[in-house]
């Protein structure tokens, strides 16, 4: 991976034999996820042979400054280009790369897509390398690199977030991504998903699997609006990530919700007054606790209606 990530568990205070052996044994090269790094835990143990365990040494052993959750493995340049394409990165975007390593995604976003981009990485050496690379490429005016903890830095300005971490790290980041990022922000992860938050799109490319999510608006609740003929729809929505279900009424009578499709701030609804009635299609655009609805009746008959949470 091209990332170095902070130990978000609260700092390194000792060597946990069981944890270290479990983590080491999981990277056996048997799958895409296992092939990113090989760990030689015995090379670390060699350092203990020089320690004075009886306290006679003039110098106490130094604690390691960094504990990196994710090994550093550079992303292939072709995969970088595909990540940017899948995210739809453009000049109006602000991309944040979490665990940015040598900065190649950040620099490519600026150089190839004319986007502003920010990389966050714990390792000062990687950050320095990335800054030098950006300067050499001539995009330093479009990019920034932060030496910091991806769990602590403010990423709310992002319109695109890229990840090359691990399943466990993605899972810990999930709540932060959902609660911090604006609805409609695109997230692309190389190789690792987010458990029960299923990707909106999954793409296989050059031996890698890429996952894309669009941060969904919070649409759960009761919503009410009026059709052009004066009849009022009332809908109760339930939401799990971008998956939406619900019940609908028209002038107080039970109607039919045929489908609901949420992508970012836009919710597409297909409704029917009854089993034999034609479809009534709406696109609701959400912002905080309000929404706008466009009735999809063709170019000659689209009316913008007010929708409010009730």
Q: What is the pLDDT of residue 23?
A: 40
Mean pLDDT of 255-280: 95
Q: What is the pLDDT of residue 59?
A: 44
| 290-295 and 279-287 strand pairing | antiparallel
Quick check: 208 and 191 in contact, CB under 8 A? Answer: yes
Mean pLDDT of 79-84: 98
Q: Locate tokens 């950050």: which residue?
A: 127
Q: What is the pLDDT of residue 226?
A: 86
* pLDDT surpassing 80 at residue 188: yes
Q: What is the pLDDT of residue 11?
A: 31
Question: Which H or E run contains 195?
Answer: none
Residue 261, token pair as written in the block: 């499709």
Q: What is the pLDDT of residue 6?
A: 34
* pLDDT surpassing 90 at residue 48: no
Q: What is the pLDDT of residue 256?
A: 96
Taking the model in full, what pTM does it have?
0.75
* pLDDT surpassing 50 at residue 141: yes
Cα–Cα dist 238/143, whole Å: 40
* pLDDT surpassing 50 at residue 5: no
The residue with greater pLDDT, 51 or 278, is 278
Q: What is the pLDDT of residue 308?
A: 62
Other C-beta atoms closer than 10 Å to the C-beta of 136 total: 10
| 186-190 and 208-214 strand pairing | antiparallel
Q: What is the pLDDT of residue 212?
A: 98
Quick check: 195 and 130 in contact, CB under 8 A? Answer: no
Q: What percent of the chain has pLDDT over 90?
A: 65
Other C-beta atoms closer than 10 Å to the C-beta of 21 total: 12
Mean pLDDT of 234-258: 97
Helices assigned H by DSSP within the chain: 17-26, 41-45, 77-87, 104-113, 124-137, 167-180
CA distances from 21 to 3, 18, 50, 157, 202 (A): 22, 5, 23, 39, 32
Question: Which H or E run contains 144?
Answer: strand 143-147
Mean pLDDT of 164-183: 96
Mean of the per-residue pLDDT values for the chain?
80
| DSSP E strand boundaries for 148-242 | 160-163, 186-190, 201-205, 208-214, 221-226, 232-240
Mean pLDDT of 161-171: 96
């Amino acid at each position: 991976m091209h990332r170095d990530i902070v130990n978000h568990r609260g700092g390194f205070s000792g060597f946990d034999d069981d944890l270290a052996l479990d983590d080491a044994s999981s990277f056996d090269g048997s799958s895409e996820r296992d092939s990113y790094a090989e760990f030689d835990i015995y090379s670390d143990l060699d350092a203990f042979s020089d320690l004075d365990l009886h306290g006679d040494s003039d110098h106490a052993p130094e604690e390691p400054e960094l504990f990196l959750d994710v090994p550093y493995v550079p992303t292939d340049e072709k995969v970088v280009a595909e990540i940017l394409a899948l995210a739809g990165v453009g000049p109006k975007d602000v991309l944040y790369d979490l665990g940015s390593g040598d900065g190649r995604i950040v620099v490519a976003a600026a150089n190839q897509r004319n986007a502003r981009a920010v990389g966050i990485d714990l390792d000062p050496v990687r950050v320095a390398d990335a800054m030098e690379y950006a300067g050499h490429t001539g995009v330093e005016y479009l990019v920034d690199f932060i030496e910091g903890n991806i769990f602590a830095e403010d990423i709310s300005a992002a319109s695109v977030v890229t990840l090359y971490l691990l399943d466990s790290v993605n899972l810990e980041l999930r709540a932060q991504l959902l609660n911090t990022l604006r609805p409609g922000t695109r997230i692309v992860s190389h190789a690792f998903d987010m458990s029960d938050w299923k990707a909106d799109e999954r793409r296989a490319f050059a031996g890698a699997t890429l996952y894309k999510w669009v941060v969904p608006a919070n649409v759960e609740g009761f919503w009410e609006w009026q059709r052009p003929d004066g009849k009022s729809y009332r809908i109760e929505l339930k939401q799990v990530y971008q998956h939406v279900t619900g019940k609908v009424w028209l002038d107080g009578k039970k109607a039919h919700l045929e489908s609901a499709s949420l992508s970012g701030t836009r919710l597409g609804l297909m409704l029917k007054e009854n089993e034999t009635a034609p479809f009534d299609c709406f696109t609701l655009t959400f912002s905080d606790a309000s929404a706008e609805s466009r009735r999809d009746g063709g170019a000659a008959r689209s009316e913008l209606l007010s929708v409010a949470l009730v």
